[in-house]
Amino acid sequence: MKAATISQLKKELSHQSKEELLELCLRLSKFKKENKELLTYLLYEADNEAGYIESVKAEIDTQFELINTSSYFYIKKSVRKILRMTKKYIRYSKNKETEAELLLHFCRVLKEMRPSMTRNVSLQNIFNRQILLIKKTVNTLHEDLQYDYNLELDELSN
């Protein structure tokens, strides 16, 4: 089966009744955890972005506390998993400020982690790539926000 394009789906959904749309959304949410998480964000969290950011930051902190620090292999594996989770939450929001805020928090926690990430090239590369991504994202924001985020970036880089 070949999937329809977004424009085809949009056109078809515009012809559906309210009840049919509700049924389709509920059916979609049953198939993948990500669909259910996105629907949860859109219904409950989208109007309170600050609360959403704080809850994701708390989740990031919790995940970093659970990392097995017995070897760098396990640390790298866990850090990649946390980064995937963070990027998933960023995709839900589609807000550049949220992206900058969450990635800054991720990098801050990664830098403070013990054993130090500077002793491992892979972890250092993950950190550097995220810093570049943050800089790219910050450049698209308002000037005042750019200044604030650039101060935080400078603090992280030192």
Query: What's the pLDDT tens digit per position in 9-48?
Result: 888 888 889 898 888 888 888 888 888 888 888 888 889 9
Task: Show the low-confidence residues of the chain (pLDDT under 70).
Answer: none
Would you list the DSSP string of 62-104? HHHHT--TT-HHHHHHHHHHHHHHHHHHHHHH--HHHHHHHHH
Q: With a threshold of 0.75, does the pTM exceed it?
A: yes
Please check whether residue 29 is in contact with residue 35, taking contact to mean a CB–CB distance below 8 angstroms: yes
- Supply the pLDDT for residue 60: 96
- Supply the pLDDT for residue 131: 93
- Supply the pLDDT for residue 43: 86
